[in-house]
Amino acid sequence: MKKILMIICGAIIFLNSCKKAVNDTVPGGNTLLLAYPAGTNYNTLSSGLNYFDNGLMNLDKDTILVSANIARPLSKDLVVTIATDQTAFTNYNNNTANHTKYTLMPQTYYSIVNNTATITAGQTAVVFKIAINASQFDISQTGYMLPVTITNAAGQSINNNMKTVYLHIEKDPFPPYPRNNWLVTGFSSQEAVGEGPNNGHVIQVIDNDPSTFWHSQWMNPPLSATTPPHWFSFDMAAQNVIHGVMFLTTQGRSDHRPKDVNISVSNDGGAWTTAANITLESVATWQKIPITPTQAVRYLKVTINTTYDSQAYTNLAEFKAY
């Protein structure tokens, strides 16, 4: 009997030691980390400088989700606070081993929707939302970084190596061409009166002002302006190799958004060839559409064949080529 008891005790000790070993695989014990993309599991491959590339973002989303994760559930609620980490940004740029230098993302480009959130008792994660103002970005000159870190966790231990996510966007290898020398060479129609003095004209799509827009003519329009296709064309003043085009729909409204669009190119402004037929999304953010094969051309023509609400008219805030 004594031998049996010794075996049972040994088994209990072995099981307890196994359980402790599992717990000890969590760095620093039951610590918090910040993860991107947001997840429900404690994953040390989602955060920190060792996984910097995981923070690479693009401008096709207007909301970024990150999560605070803890390895094992707690018996009570845990309030977690996050914030932009200026020190992490400075340390990254000052490290000579990091060849790419970034600009700190301006506050007008983003907002942390909820900088405080609660991991409820029995749970292991909570999600934070970061709103991205994609239409504000200009990545033609530099890349941007937004380090976000856990700053407070009500006394709970924080994993210092994994408390920060380095959200970043790279400099555009093919930035948009400057449009200050572009000329409007033709259009199907424009609303020269009904949208006020600073809207309605084709020139508004190349004025570098997202708040203005072109609108097809709707006030006493000629028959040709009442139905698609609607088009406009530009002289870029020089030959440019076109890798793609960019569209920004009219801000603050969603009616008459372009859908099916044709891009034509020319070197004399008279003989046009189709470079691409594309379908835009019905979104308020910049849409960047690559065109292959690339071509060196001087003139561009945009033809809007259909709209999302199937109405006769259409509008657009900005158009670029890159």
Residue 205 has pLDDT above 90, yes or no: yes
> Which domains are seen in the chain, by residue range?
28-169 (2.60.40.1740), 183-321 (2.60.120.260)
From residue 227, alpha-carbon distances to 160, 277, 302, 306, 319 in Å are 61, 19, 16, 9, 21
206 phi and psi angles, rounded to 5 deg: -125, 25
- By the 10 Å C-beta count (0-12 exposed, 13-18 middle, 19+ buried), 51 is classed as middle
Strands (E), the chain: 32-35, 63-70, 78-84, 103-104, 110-112, 116-119, 125-132, 144-152, 164-169, 183-187, 214-215, 230-248, 260-266, 273-279, 287-304, 315-316, 318-321
Q: Binning pLDDT at 50, 70 and 90, where does residue 1 land?
A: very low
**pLDDT score at 16:** 36
**pLDDT score at 18:** 34
**pLDDT score at 141:** 82
**pLDDT score at 21:** 30
**pLDDT score at 10:** 37
Residue 24 has pLDDT above 50, yes or no: no
Q: How many residues does the chain have?
A: 322
Residue 13 has pLDDT above 60, yes or no: no
Token output for 190 = 């424009």
Residue 62 has pLDDT above 50, yes or no: yes
pLDDT tens per residue across span 122-178 = 999 999 999 999 878 888 789 999 999 999 999 999 999 999 999 999 988 898 999
**pLDDT score at 25:** 35
What's the whole-number mean pLDDT along residues 48-72? 89
pTM: 0.59
Work out the number of other CB atoms within 10 angstroms of the CB of residue 3. 7
Q: Binning pLDDT at 50, 70 and 90, where does residue 220 land?
A: confident
**pLDDT score at 210:** 94
Distance of alpha carbon 61 from alpha carbon 137, whole angstroms: 12
Residue 318 has pLDDT above 70, yes or no: yes
Residue among 104, 111, 118, 120 at smallest CA distance from 152: 118
